[in-house]
A and B are shown apart, each in its own frame.
Chain A
Amino acid sequence: DAKTTQPNSMESNEEEPVHLPCNHSTISGTDYIHWYRQLPSQGPEYVIHGLTSNVNNRMASLAIAEDRKSSTLILHRATLRDAAVYYCILKAGANNLFFGTGTRLTVIP
């Protein structure tokens, strides 16, 4: 699986938008971009995924660069419950997810 690069940590104020970046310069044409998050003392949780077009769901939005070498997970209004480690993962089929180090998001009340 191609590698991704994410900042180790980010902070956000509560109720403000959060943009979590991910670089994946070696992405191949068949790789989908997946995001998972892991809340404290829990297993990872699926957030969103996409291929080329921007995607929205009830949890977040995913903005994918035109050249697909980077993407951004957008949380529109951060809450304290969004404090977690966020993982950006490239998938080309198969259920074996390669988790990098992720970004630890701290939400400040």
Chain B
Amino acid sequence: KAGVTQTPRYLIKTRGQQVTLSCSPISGHRSVSWYQQTPGQGLQFLFEYFSETQRNKGNFPGRFSGRQFSNSRSEMNVSTLELGDSALYLCASSARLAGRSGETQYFGPGTRLLVL
């Protein structure tokens, strides 16, 4: 099976712009989660989508949004970019919503966003 793919891999934007990142989960996986990784804050959970519905949300401002399509592919959008949004954005897929043990998550390589 192909792994989680993310596009684009690298992106440069300027402050005030908006950006859309794409994630294709492993075939058959229905849950997609997004994370932000920065040197200062480490890896932080953004949100999770399952069956086109947001199921969990981290502590990020409303400028960060996402959606999931019927084929489980997901996009996240960041509007009005700030310098602090420069980060590695990681997507992870799981087969299901987590049961008691928590589903194993499979991560993509990430999209590195630089905001100038």
Contacts and interface: CB of A to CB of B under 8 A. Distances in A.
A99 B42 contact: yes
B102 A91 contact: yes
A59 to B, nearest CB: 12
B42 A32 contact: no
Interface of A is mostly: loop
Interface in B76-97: 90, 92, 94, 97
Interface in A54-106: 87, 91-102
Interface in B59-116: 90, 92, 94, 97-110
Given A94-B56, A96-B33, A96-B45, A49 B101 contact: yes
A43 interface: yes
Interface centre among B48, B92, B101 (most CB of A within 10 A): B101
A97 B42 contact: no
21 contacts: A32-B100, A32-B101, A34-B102, A36-B105, A43-B90, A44-B43, A49-B104, A92-B102, A94-B102, A95-B33, A95-B48, A95-B56, A95-B98, A95-B102, A96-B48, A96-B56, A97-B43, A97-B45, A98-B45, A101-B42, A102-B42
Interface of B: 4, 31, 33, 35, 42-45, 48, 55-56, 58, 90, 92, 94, 97-110
